């Protein structure tokens, strides 16, 4: 196991044990990954900003519409929203989706909400650990840019988001499926071609070359 992966797991699992909050892990892991693979976010700055706004607005809207009777997680990548969690019935499931679709900038919504009782603290903590392990495994993959992927876990199901090639998406899904505790892997990718990837990866290098002249 690499030193980076060991550090990510140690800090993230310690954070989980202390507070059990997925947000804490996301900040720690995100900071570690971005420190080693800078400039690999394949969204424009505008899209990144809109994604943050979609999540914030979505969480407020769903909370207002469904209250404490639902547990809904809102994620967005390149203006494509993903809903995970639990709701009481199909009406609530559709209501949550309607709220997200009404947000300006949202291009599509993938509704993965389950109709069931609300998950407990133990289940959510387990999901946080799985997310951490998947991210660490992606960091260890030498042929992947780990920070190109967004990882969400709900009830043991792992959702992978990002702008990736078919090759990258398949490799990441295979890695995630091999992590202990993962029930299934759902791809929520926006696919790009290998040529598009080469162009994206060349942009930072070209910028650095221009700045050095």
pLDDT tens readout for residues 105-128? 999 999 999 999 999 999 999 999
Give the per-residue pLDDT at 202. Answer: 86
Q: Is 67 left (phi over 0), alpha (psi -120 to 50) or beta?
A: left
SS3 127: helix
d(CA 100, CA 156): 24
Candidates 131, 103, 184; CA nearest to 16 is 131
pLDDT tens readout for residues 151-185? 999 999 999 999 999 999 999 999 999 999 999 99
Contact between 74 and 55 (Cβ < 8 Å): yes
pLDDT tens readout for residues 30-69? 444 333 333 478 999 999 999 999 999 999 999 999 999 9
**How far, in whole angstroms, is CA 82 from its chain's centroid?**
9
Cβ count near 160 (within 10 Å): 22
Ramachandran angles phi, psi of 114, nearest 5°: -95, 145
SS3 158: strand
5: pLDDT strictly greater than 70? no
Q: Which domains, from first to last, does the chain contain?
A: 3-36+119-195 (no CATH), 45-115 (3.30.1340.30)
29: pLDDT strictly greater than 50? no
């Amino acid at each position: 196991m690499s030193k980076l992966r060991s550090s990510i797991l140690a800090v993230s699992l310690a954070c989980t044990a202390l507070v059990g909050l997925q947000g804490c892990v996301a900040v720690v892991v995100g900071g570690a990954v971005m420190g080693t693979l800078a400039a690999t976010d394949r969204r424009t700055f505008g899209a990144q900003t809109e994604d943050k706004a979609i999540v914030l607005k979505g969480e407020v809207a769903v909370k207002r519409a469904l209250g404490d009777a639902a547990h809904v997680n809102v994620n967005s990548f390149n203006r494509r929203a993903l809903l995970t969690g639990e709701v009481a019935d199909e009406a609530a499931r559709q209501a949550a989706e309607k709220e997200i679709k009404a947000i300006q900038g949202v291009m599509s919504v993938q509704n993965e909400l389950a109709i069931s009782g609300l998950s407990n603290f133990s289940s959510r903590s387990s999901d946080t650990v799985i997310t951490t392990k998947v991210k660490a495994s992606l960091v260890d993959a030498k042929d992947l840019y780990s920070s190109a992927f967004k990882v969400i876990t709900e009830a043991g199901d792992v959702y992978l988001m990002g702008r990736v090639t078919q090759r990258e998406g398949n490799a990441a899904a295979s890695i995630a499926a091999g992590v202990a505790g993962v029930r299934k892997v759902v791809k929520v990718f926006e696919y790009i071609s290998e040529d598009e990837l080469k162009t994206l990866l060349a942009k930072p290098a070209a910028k650095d070359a221009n700045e050095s002249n």
